[in-house]
Structures are given as C-alpha cells and as structure tokens.
Structure 1
Amino acid sequence: MTSRKRSIIAVTGSAGKTTTKEMIASVLGVRWRIVKTQSNWNQPRATARSAKRIKPYHRAAVLEYGMLRNGQIRAHCKALQPTIGVITNVGTAHIGNVGNRVEGIAKAKSELIRYMKPSGLLVLNADDRNSRLLAYRNFKGRLVKVGIRNRADYRAHGITAGRRGVRFRVKLDGKDEAFAIPCLGEHNVYNALNAIAVTHRLGFKAGEIRKGLARYPVPYRRLVRTELPRAITLIDDTFSSNPTATKAALDVLAQAGRSRTYAVVGHMKDLGRYSAKGHKDVGAYAARKKVSRLYAIGKHARYIVHGARAAGLPAGRIRLFQTREGLHRALIADIKPGAAILVKGTHLLKLERTVAFLKKRLSAKIK
C-alpha cells in the first residue's frame, strides 16, 4: 500500500470476531503502529472510546463491531466508519433479539456493508451458506471471499491439525505459501484467511503475514488446551457460546487424539424462540461426534439432552445438571486416564471454575 491513509478495519460475525481481530492486528503490528479493540469490548461505546485512542502515527485501527440487536453495527459505523469490513459468518448468536430468524442476523450484520466506506474492501466467507443472505450484491467497493471448500480469492488447502495448532497453505502472488496458527480447530483457518485477505490487500508480504499469524495472542479461554497428568487433555472454551461455536469446539474435542472424550456443554443465551432447536442441534452434533460422555448444564440444557438422545447417544452416557457442584462430583467420578475433556459455555455460567477445579483435582494423583 503506497498511500499513507489510515485503514479502519471492522470485524463482525456470529463467531470468530476476537480471533480474527487479534490475527489481523498481529500481522499489521509486524511493521505498523495500530490501535485495536481491547479484549472483546465490542459494543458501540467501546468503539467510540477506541476512536479517541487513535493518534496521527497509527496506520490502522482493528476493531470488533459486536451486535446484540438491530442498529448496533450502524452505531459502530457512526462512531468510526470502516474502510475495510470483515463478516466472519452468519450464525445464530443472539438470534432471539432479531426476530428469531437467521435472516434477521444477516440483516443486522449487513449494516456493516451499508454504513462502511462505499469504496472500501469487504471480506466474506465463501463457505458459509448463511452469508449469502447478506446485502452485499450492490456493494460498490472491492469484494473478496475466503474459503476452504468453495472457490475463493483466498483459499486454504493442505490443512493439518496438530495438538498445538493448525498448518495450511494459501496461494499468494502466484506462489503456494505455508502458514501456521498456534490455536486449535480447523475453523480457525477461516479467521486466519480473513487476516491474510486484509493484510495482503494492504501490501503485506507472505513472510510478514506468516510471522504475524505465528505469534498472534490466542484469546483468553477460547479453546485453550492444557495437558494434565495421566495423558488427560483439558480444553477450556468458556468465554462465550453459541450453536456454531459449540459445534466447532466439539470438532476440536473429536480431534484431540484421546481414547475417551468428555463434553461439558452449557446452555446458550439470546436464542429466543430458536433456543430449543439450537440446543437440540448441539446435542445431536455431540452424538454424531460419538462423545464418551455428555454433561449438559444450565437453564435450557435439557434440550441438549433431548437432541443427543434423539440422535442415538445412549442415555447412560448423558447427564443433566443444574449446579456446578453436582457436575464436579460426576466428572471426578467418571474421568479416566487418556481422556480429553471439553468445557464449553457462556461466561455467565462461570464454567471457568469447572476448568480450575479439574486442573487442581486432575493434577493430583489419580487413583
């Protein structure tokens, strides 16, 4: 990029916002001074505060534009108009606040397209079916797509998942380039592709992108893997939750390489009339992943149980809890050496306490 104009990069979507933001910021930080959203403070007031932090020497701002209801992304754009917009995907997070329909989510996310700079750059997910509902067809700027399965401007292949991260390849400037990200889950390749698309269009070379992705800070309590004694793997994904993210976490659990898999799944908020279906879908997905044990906890967790049973997971492998104390007793009684344990739920359930409990108890000698 030869211009010294500042780039305002906005990231929204039903899942992957914080990770995508951190990846973009890490790459840009290889040679630029930037501002980014602190933690996941992604409501319009936070964007207004971020705008005040921008100084003349900053080349870019990388911000999450979070959304709980209609009009909020427009408010973000009013506080700071993006020149680059990224919509990671269109899922069901907060669907109860926008008419209980995926179309409502797409309409709310489309506010980014409508209110960003008309001549800017828009990055969309070619593999996300619901992203077709976004109002991008009359966008006058540059549209690029990322993907793995479908045709895209930035397409990953040769994906290899390991215990500490994922490796993949992308063609840039006519050359097949290798990249690695220090986080779990093939779904995070999409977040990396978003970062590659944005930074490559801003003039960053493959080596700079590779360096930035390799050292990006993995967000707190998002698929953080800890190895415990007796070949036990603990996966902490307790910061937030929605059906799309929970299914991705179950994929990571299935790929953990352990003989037994235990899934602790909490209820998901803001799903409205979609709540029963969303929770049942998650339970059914856990059954398809053949988890050894499924522990559901929270207000709407009974629907997770219903979905798992209907999908064929034996009732003896499913437990429903209303308290963390009961959950903890069951986990300690059930967990055997060689297991992988996923703890997934909204931060309102405080399941990070379950993670802390398991780390303490499972680090002691297992009888």
Structure 2
Amino acid sequence: MKVSDFDFHLPEERIALRPVKPRDAARMLVIGDDGLIDSSVADLPGLLCAGDVMVFNDTRVIPARLHGIRPADTTRGEVRIELLLHKRVDGESWQAFARPGKRLRIGDTVLIGDLAASIMMKGDGGELLVRFDRSGRDLDLAIMERGEMPLPPYIAGKRATDEGDLSDYQTMFAARDGAVAAPTASLHFTEGLMTRLGEAGIGHVTLTLHVGAGTFLPVKAEDTSDHKMHAEWGEISAATAKLLNETRRKGGRIVAVGTTSLRLLESAADEQGTIHPFADETDIFITPGYRFRAVDVLMTNFHLPKSTLFMLVSAFAGLDTMQAAYAHAIDTGYRFYSYGDACLLFPERAE
C-alpha cells in the first residue's frame, strides 16, 4: 500500500503537551460495530466484559537522552552532541541516534560529564553503535544520573522536559528498565481504575517490550512493502502465555493495552492463535491485510500521520473506519499522541 494512504492533517493545537489529571479522566473514542462513541477511560469497566483479560507492557522508560560534547581536535572544534539511546546491544554498548550526527566520525568520543561514549559504527540511516567506558550496573547508574527523559520530538520540540515528566511519562506498571519511549496507552491507568476493573471481573497480566526510539522515525518509503521496522526486545512468560490461552478457551477476550503489547502478542502467536512463551527480538510490521491471531480488542492512543502505528490500527479496525474516527476526533477536540486521549478499537468484521 502507498504510505500516502495513511496521511491526514492534524492541527498543532490537537497535540497534547501535558497529560490530563487524574490519568483516567482522559477521553476515549470507542470504535466498533456501533460506530463511533465518545466515552472516557474511566468507563472501561462497563465497556469490557467479565472474563476479559487486559495485557499491559511493564517496560520502564530510562532517561535515554544524553547531552555531551565531542572535544576539539587538531582539525575540528568542540561541538555539542545529543545522543538518544534506543537499543541495548550488550553490557557496555548501545545503538543510538545523534544530533548533529554528521559531526561525528567512527573513533570519536562523546563526553557526557565523566561518562565517555566511543563511536564504533555509523549506519546508513544515521544510526550509531556507541561503546561506553563502563558496563553493566555501573553504566545503568551513570545513564540514570546524567540522562534526560526522552520525550517524543513532537513534545520536546515545543517545551523543555521537567520534573513532572519523570512521573507523567512512566506507567503504573513500569518494572523492567529498558524502554526509551513509554507504552503510552498504559499512562491512562490508576490504582482506582484497576480496582474497578477487577471488581467487574476483568483480569490483567503483563509482558515486556522495550520500546525503541525507532517508533518515532518517519516512514521514508513510498510503499509500505519497502519499510523496515527497527527490532525491539520482548518477553512473554510461560505463565502469562498459559493464562491468555485459557482466557480464550473460556470465551474471554484478550485486550491489548497499547500497540507494543499487541505487536508482541502477535509475534508470539502461532497460526492457530495459540500464544507461546517468547524471549527474543521482534520487528513485526502490521499493515492492512494482516490476519490478527492473538488480540481481540485494542486500546491505544491517537497516532501520527503516515506512521507505522496508524497503519497498525488501520489494519485492526479498517482504514476507512480509522480515517473517519480520526476526523471525528480532530473535529471534536480529542487530544493526540503520547499525552493525549485514547481509543478503544474492536476489529473490523470480515466481509
């Protein structure tokens, strides 16, 4: 399909720069067989059914944006460098993006305080392999001390990151360090909402997908078949896989909270829809025509034009349906992107 098929105009004032408080006060557009219904995240217990199980991503966002300098040498002056870590390679190395990346060469060192990052490789797309001068827990602590919360560019380009983002851009399920972007659909949940969901007979489990910065990269290809996804590491435990398979056998639905949860569930499912334990990388790219095997309902935020995430939701609920839903959301004042409102999607019925 043409990438231009997934384009739409979004007025800048629809981009949320702060989340609503409390988190579950966000609006939610329900998209399904009954058309478009304006609702609220707080209404979830009445929109799902007893026996359904919600699947949350328990990844924790690390302060992956690092500011440093490349020192002057005999031919070049000092230059300020921003490194955005996006995928851990081993105990001392990360894949990263840099600004300005063109000012760096293989063999250069970027100094972030007393933390040194050596440029080991440069990819065609501007991706770097950087090796730090410490490893393991020592490196983790250094990144935590010197890094900044990696807000998405559509927020970071409009305001500075502040103390509020340390909690606002972290979900209540965050437990395993490794993401450089939040699984934003889960940002809407509170302890009170989880209690009410439980009282309604709606269960929940967690999995882990460490979201990479590749989620914000534009699709540069003209056709979806020419786009290559960045790989991300994920894990589904044997116990979680067993519970989800039993849920379906009993007639319950699997509700993926966020596209990250959905992508990992679909990566771990076989052709019959059975979910297997998983601990590996996935670069699954879902576009219209994909046959969903593991997920029955999807809760997600509103996504960027021509993004892989808008392609995914269009595959789930139908491109025409999602274009109409987004037009309605824009016209009626829904807030978009990471700190914005939510959608609850039911799948497109087969003809």
TM-score (norm 2): 0.26
Which has the larger share of helix? 1
